């Protein structure tokens, strides 16, 4: 009997451990669980709202509160909804989700009268294709995927490599050791685009520059997008090895890079949002620039266009030329090289420089 009880105890302990690791895998930020109102009421002051439109945003794994990608998607949609006086609903995802779960989630949104529906993340590609065919009158936007071909689906894709090229230029111009680093959140093609552009940009300035790259986790473990401790460790390793500037395309893990840079007196490059403004105040002085992936511009434009009837099906590319990607100058650390960086930007826009989207 005693033995049974011991086993029972061990069982509970292990389960707790398993649950903890499983939660880690879901990369859920504690901030997402705070009871933010999920339905934003329409401000009553805006005039004559279109009664037929109700905006919905279906998030990717990391969800709201990641300080980047998902938050930006929300910001754009929320801004548009507020301007147009529309309701906004948000729904979240889990690691265990199957395509059927994702499809059903989209159907649920469509059935409850939502239009447009914005799916955040490429995992929604199949489900959007399936559900969009069932609801021809509803507009679907899908962020980071350009494969769905339907008259009511807009693929909102970004030229991440172009923006990353520019911050690579910044890193190479400002590095004193001739050694820079790249930290990717999860080793997926999307993040490889960031790395490829960054390397190309750095090499364009200094062909002999040394670049160290690492990824924090491998799929299907997406914890690398939300593990500041791991990010800090990786960044420390790079600084110790002689790098003096590190670029993190790793969602919430980037916070660890900023800490490591602050402690060691190095410099860091942020991603997605202008992280000089979104990072903790005590670390923001090391953020020389951020690669801007303006998901908010895309979701705002898409929502607005659906309402005024000008939405375009197919691939909506948000590149450097369209203002979909770019780099930030907040903090003033790179004011003296803006001219040089902008010169590269013009060459990319004019097509003189073709930025690769894959490494090797």
Partner 1 sequence: MMETRIERVLLQLIAPVVAIFFAALLAAAILHFTGADAGSVLGEVVAFGTTPASLVAVVNKATTFYLAGIAGAIGFRMLLFNIGIDGQYRLAVFFAAVVGASVSLPPVLHVTLIIVVAMAVGAGWAALAGYIKVTRGVSEVISTIMLNAVATGIIAYLLAPGRLAERAAGSNNIRTTPIPSSGWFPGFEVAGKEVFGFTLVAAALGIGFWILLNRTRFGFELRASGLSLRAAAVSGVNSKRMIFVTMVMSGAMAGLVGIPQLLGSSHQYGLDFPAGFGFTGLAIAILGRNHPLGVAFGALLWAWLERSSQILDLLGVSREIVTIMQATIVLSVVVAYEVVRRVNVRRQQKLVGRSEHVGIESGATA
Residue 14 or 280: the one with the smaller Cβ distance to partner 1 is 14
Sign for the pseudo-dihedral over CA of 116, 132, 251, 178: negative
What Rg do the C-alpha atoms of the chain give, in angstroms?
Answer: 22
Residue 90 or 195: the one with the smaller Cβ distance to partner 1 is 90
List 151, 219, 242, 356, residue binding partner 1 (CB under 8 A) = 219
List 25, 49, 237, 264, residue binding partner 1 (CB under 8 A) = 25
Any contact of residue 189 with partner 1 (CB under 8 A)? yes
Select from 177, 241, 188 the least CA-distant residue to 69: 188
CB 229 within 8 A of CB 255: no
Residue 89 or 329: the one with the smaller Cβ distance to partner 1 is 89
Residue 4 or 350: the one with the smaller Cβ distance to partner 1 is 4
Burial 303-330 (b: 16+ CB within 10 A, else e): bbbbbeeebebeebebbbebebbbbbbb
Residue 61 or 172: the one with the smaller Cβ distance to partner 1 is 61
Select from 235, 295, 231, 294 the least CA-distant residue to 261: 235
List 105, 179, 284, 293, residue binding partner 1 (CB under 8 A) = 105
CB of 153 to partner 1, least distance (A): 12
Any contact of residue 14 with partner 1 (CB under 8 A)? yes
Any contact of residue 98 with partner 1 (CB under 8 A)? yes
For the chain, first and last CA: distance in Å?
61
List 2, 3, 339, 351, residue binding partner 1 (CB under 8 A) = 3
Any contact of residue 187 with partner 1 (CB under 8 A)? yes
Residue 113 or 264: the one with the smaller Cβ distance to partner 1 is 113
Fill in the DSSP letter of residue 328. Answer: -
Rounded-to-integer distance, Cα 256 and Cα 277, Å: 16
Select from 338, 180, 207, 193 the least CA-distant residue to 269: 180
Which span sits near partner 1 by CB under 8 A: 120-128, 201-209, 227-235, 267-275? 120-128
Phi-psi region of 219 (alpha: psi -120 to 50; beta: other; left: phi over 0): beta
Any contact of residue 42 with partner 1 (CB under 8 A)? no
Residue 158 or 266: the one with the smaller Cβ distance to partner 1 is 158
Rounded-to-integer distance, Cα 209 and Cα 177, Å: 9
Any contact of residue 220 with partner 1 (CB under 8 A)? yes
Cβ-based burial of 195 (10 A; exposed 0-12, middle 13-18, buried ≥19): buried
Per-residue string for binding with partner 1, 133-162, x by CB under 8 A? -----------xxxx-------x-x-----
- Which H or E run includes 158? strand 153-158
Per-residue string for binding with partner 1, 304-343, x by CB under 8 A? -----------x----------------------------
Number of residues binding to partner 1, judged by CB under 8 A: 55
CB 211 within 8 A of CB 180: yes
Any contact of residue 223 with partner 1 (CB under 8 A)? no
CB of 64 to partner 1, least distance (A): 11
Can you give the length of the chain in residues? Answer: 360
In what order do the strands lie in the sheet containing 179-186? 210-217, 179-186, 245-249, 267-272, 287-293, 325-327
Residue 21 or 46: the one with the smaller Cβ distance to partner 1 is 21
Residue 147 or 347: the one with the smaller Cβ distance to partner 1 is 147
Any contact of residue 101 with partner 1 (CB under 8 A)? yes
> Which stretches of the chain bind partner 1, using CB under 8 A?
3, 5, 7-8, 11-12, 14-15, 18-19, 21-22, 25-26, 33, 35, 37-39, 89-92, 94-101, 104-105, 108-109, 112, 122-123, 125-126, 144-147, 155, 157, 187-190, 218-221, 315
């Amino acid at each position: 009997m005693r033995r049974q009880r011991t086993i029972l105890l061990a069982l509970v302990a292990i389960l707790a451990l398993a649950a903890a690791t499983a939660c880690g895998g879901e990369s859920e930020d504690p901030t997402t669980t705070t009871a933010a109102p999920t339905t934003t009421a329409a401000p009553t002051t805006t005039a004559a709202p279109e009664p037929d439109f109700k905006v919905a945003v279906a998030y990717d794994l990391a969800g709201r509160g990641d300080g980047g990608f998902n938050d930006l998607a929300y910001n754009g949609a929320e801004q548009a909804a507020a301007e147009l006086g529309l309701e906004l609903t948000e729904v979240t995802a889990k690691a265990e989700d199957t395509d059927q779960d994702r499809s059903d989630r989209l159907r649920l949104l469509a059935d409850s009268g939502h239009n447009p529906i914005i799916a955040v993340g490429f995992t929604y590609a199949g489900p959007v294709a399936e559900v969009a065919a069932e609801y021809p009158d509803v507009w679907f936007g899908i962020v980071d995927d350009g494969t769905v071909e339907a008259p009511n689906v807009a693929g909102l894709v970004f030229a991440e490599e172009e923006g990353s090229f520019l911050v690579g230029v910044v890193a190479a111009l400002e590095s004193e050791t001739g050694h820079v680093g790249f930290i990717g959140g999860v080793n997926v093609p999307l993040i490889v685009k960031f790395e490829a552009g960054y390397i190309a940009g750095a090499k364009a300035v200094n062909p002999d520059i040394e670049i160290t790259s690492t990824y924090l986790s491998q799929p299907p473990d997406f914890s690398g997008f939300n593990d500041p401790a791991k990010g800090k460790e990786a960044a420390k390793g790079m600084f110790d090895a002689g790098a003096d500037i590190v670029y993190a395309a790793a969602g919430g893990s980037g916070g660890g890079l900023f800490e490591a840079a602050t402690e060691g007196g190095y410099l860091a490059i942020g991603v997605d949002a202008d992280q000089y403004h979104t990072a903790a105040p005590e670390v923001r002085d090391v953020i020389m620039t951020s690669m801007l992936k303006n998901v908010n511009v895309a979701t705002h434009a898409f929502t607005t266009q659906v309402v005024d009837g000008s939405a375009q099906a197919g691939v909506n590319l948000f590149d450097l030329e369209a203002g979909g990607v770019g780099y930030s100058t907040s903090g003033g650390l790179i004011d003296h090289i803006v001219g040089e960086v902008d010169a590269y930007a013009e060459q990319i826009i004019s097509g003189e420089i073709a930025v690769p989207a894959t490494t090797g």
